[in-house]
Amino acid sequence: MRTTPPRPARRSLLALGLGAVLTAGALATATVAGAAPDRAPLVVQTTEGAVEGTATDGYRLFEGIPFAAPPVGDLRFAPPAPAQPWDGVLDATTPGSACPQEPSASNPTTSLDEDCLYLNVTTPSGLDTSRRNLPVMVWIHGGSWRTGSGDRYDAGKLALEGDVVVVTINYRLGPLGFMAQEDLSRENGDVASGSAGLLDQQAALRWVERNIRAFGGNPGRVTIFGESAGGSAVCAQLTSPSARGLFDRAIAQSYSCTAPYDTLETAEAKGARVAETVGCAAASDVAACLRATPVQQLLDAWPGGAFVVGGSALPVQPAEAIAAGNHAKVPVMHGNLSDENTLFTPLDPTVARLAADGFTGTDYTTVLAGVFGDNADEVLARYPADAYPSPLRALAAVNSDAGSALSTCEHVDAYDTLARPPAPAPVFAYQFRDETADPLVDFPYPAYPEDAQHATELPYLFPGLFGDGLNAEQERLSTAMVRYWTNFAAHGNPNGRDVPTWTRYRASKDVQGLDIASDGGIGPVDVAAEADCAFWSTLS
């Protein structure tokens, strides 16, 4: 099991052989001994202090840079506080700790360390990037709002092939990032509670605003992008008043921007149950008791949750804000995968129990009846079990087309909402469709092809994240995707040389399908027609 590394040690200027006479201005352009004078520096001066990274394979990597104060003690559950400056040079050659989390089927990381608000910067080596203004891409990782860390994502391919600076960030997860509770809300005032994770992401973006120019990036060309829970974060930041002006484009992968979240009232009721479970409900100071509760107890008591709507950071549901035009007017790339829920369907407890004994046609009918009630027969007629390799695969097709924030029809709703007035910014929609991609979780069920499952596009952007690596045809698709993503970061439009034309979204036929050439290649697809969205709209 992977464990998170220790905090980076701070090193003195003398230890680096740079001499105590270097000024802050000299540090910004210093090079390590023996490096070519026209290469980018490995020691960079930030507003909090100098950092030393590494150079490998044509890019520089700076890891474990603190962007906020450790959220411990009185700062647990609170909005992030500024990072404290340091003396000397910070060793930025190893990642900082991941935020507290327990391992999952797709993420082996375990951590109980609350001192976790770190980010990582990947930038091309090239000539001295302090004289360049590269586009900046800030990655917000996924993981069901309870697992993950920025250092898991190797951004070298994006940085080198796209000529961009990539920042990957941590943010508080689970109860430490998303738990609301009445006493905590009272302490936090207008921001209420449950928004710590969202505000951590904004603190990282403010760090980028202050510091990215020293790494060769342009603070006026910042793209936020993320997948799954990270995609939901992109959507939330689009509609958060306190995020305005912190980014210039947005890419939301595999989470609909019109999906709803818990209201503050609902989230505070959930927090009250957590307080009761950990023995804080009857305390004279519930908030103080929650801050003193061991991390493991909070993780064990947490039922799950995401962003909270009602405080000043996210005052209304994203769908409502977008429909009213009360969101950041920036270009948006938004998309999902054609078979998202072949990952999550077998993980449903009821389905998993049935599948252990062989998920039958009768089981399929029973599950549909439980979900769709009087409409179950109509769904069964549209998605008959014998039209798929197995009844379990038929159920996954139902779940992938409709009914969740990951589904195709929910994404089409988001594209339509983002693209219609009063939203003047362009929208570019996509669907990843490579059925040969390695799955995130390989289920042992017979006749259950997982196809373009949730998250399988990630190794095409971040090599080696999981799976056995890409074959030659997949590498060609990966190259095209990196060009699209980085073209968008540079210009607010994914189009450019050596990639098929991508039409701005105006109707469902304007979705760009991303697939290997032998299965259709790259071109427009009508995902609403393929997913029977007109049918599903009659049931909603």
Residues with active-site annotation = 228, 340, 454
CA 449-340-231 angle, 5° bins: 150
Phi-psi region of 17 (alpha: psi -120 to 50; beta: other; left: phi over 0): left
Return d(Cα 158, Cα 236) in angstroms, integer: 24
Which residue type, as a one-letter code, is found at position 86? W
Which DSSP symbol is given to 111?
Answer: B
Q: Which of 499, 498, 372, 377 is nearest to 430 (CA)?
A: 499
Contacts of residues 287-290 at CB distance under 8 Å and 24 or more positions apart, as own/partner, are 287/77, 287/181, 287/183, 287/184, 287/186, 287/187, 290/76, 290/77, 290/181, 290/183, 290/184
Q: Which of 454, 422, 250, 236 is nearest to 334 (CA)?
A: 250
Element of type H or E holding 232: helix 229-239
Q: Which of 76, 43, 305, 66 is nearest to 169 (CA)?
A: 66
How far is residue 106 CA from its own chain's centroid? 15
Q: Which of 239, 258, 237, 418 is nearest to 327 (CA)?
A: 239
Please count the other Cβ atoms lying within 10 Å of the Cβ belonging to residue 416.
17
Within 109-164, strands assigned E span 118-124, 134-140
Q: Which residues touch 442 (CB under 8 Å, ≥6 apart)?
A: 450
Return d(Cα 222, Cα 243) in angstroms, integer: 12
Element of type H or E holding 524: strand 523-525
**Secondary structure, 3-state, 328-351:** CCCCEEEEEECCHHHCCHHHCHHH
| Cis, peptide link before residue 70, omega less than 30° from 0 | no
What distances in angstroms separate CA 266 from CA 33, 275, 277, 393, one per listed residue? 58, 14, 17, 34
